[in-house]
Amino acid sequence: MSENTSEKPLAGKIALVTGASRGIGAATAKALAARGAHVVLVARKVKDLEGVEDAIHDEDGTATIAPLDLTDGESIGRLAQAIAERWDKLDILVIAAAQLPTLTPVTQIDQKQFNEALTLNVLATQALLAAFDPLLKRSDNGRIVALTSSVGSEPRPFWGAYGASKAAFDNLVESHAKEVERISETRLAIIDPGATRTAMRERAYPGEDPQSVKPPEVVGDRIAELLVSDFPNLHRERVETPR
């Protein structure tokens, strides 16, 4: 078996990861790069993206930073055009970026925060799927990994705003997966990372001991392993804490 297929099974693959500046997005980007993919890192903060890029380069991986605001639909289109011009395809799209509004009763939801969450969690997702669908179809086996939350399907008190956005997110990505499966090789997996040590988790559970939940690297490695082993369309999985 060659080095490419054994140590770098994703060599030659182009991957784009949103929310790549920290948490699960950053961990996933590093895990994909470690397996040979060239990773396009997408988030708003340049300095944080550069830190992830440096960490990837330190491990002999390759990455390109693409700082942009995903709530700006036109910027997503420009990024897709740039990737098309440089590589002419996209093999892997990981949708990890998300926004958590303040946890509050439904009757007290802040409309501005709710709108921001819907814009990033739902509208930006549709824009990503629309912009990168042609490039994923140019891949021999385009793969999409969409990170969800259990509150999208299991409503919880005070989580109504975020849960509603994730319910819409799930419906959107599932619909897309069913639309493309008969006309392309593109396949989609929906991953619930479960309790994970992230800034979003800390905001939601400020009194929790961070060491009591798994680090984002566990989720990133699982996503990378899933992409290496491959999956059927609409694969669903919850990443549990290792024992």
Give the CA count within 13 Å in the CB-facing half-sphere of 239.
27
- The 10 Å Cβ neighbour count of residue 105 is 9
Which residue, among 92, 68, 65, 91, has the nearest Cα to 78 in the 3D structure? 68
How many angstroms separate the Cα of 223 from the Cα of each of 29, 59, 61, 167, 183?
10, 19, 17, 21, 25
- The 10 Å Cβ neighbour count of residue 78 is 14
Q: Tell me if residue 205 is catalytic.
A: no
- What is the spatial distance between Cα 211 and Cα 196, in angstroms, rounded to a whole number? 10
Q: Single out the catalytic residue among 132, 159, 162, 169.
A: 162
- What is the spatial distance between Cα 117 and Cα 109, in angstroms, rounded to a whole number? 12
- What is the spatial distance between Cα 21 and Cα 26, in angstroms, rounded to a whole number? 5
Positions annotated as catalytic residues are: 162
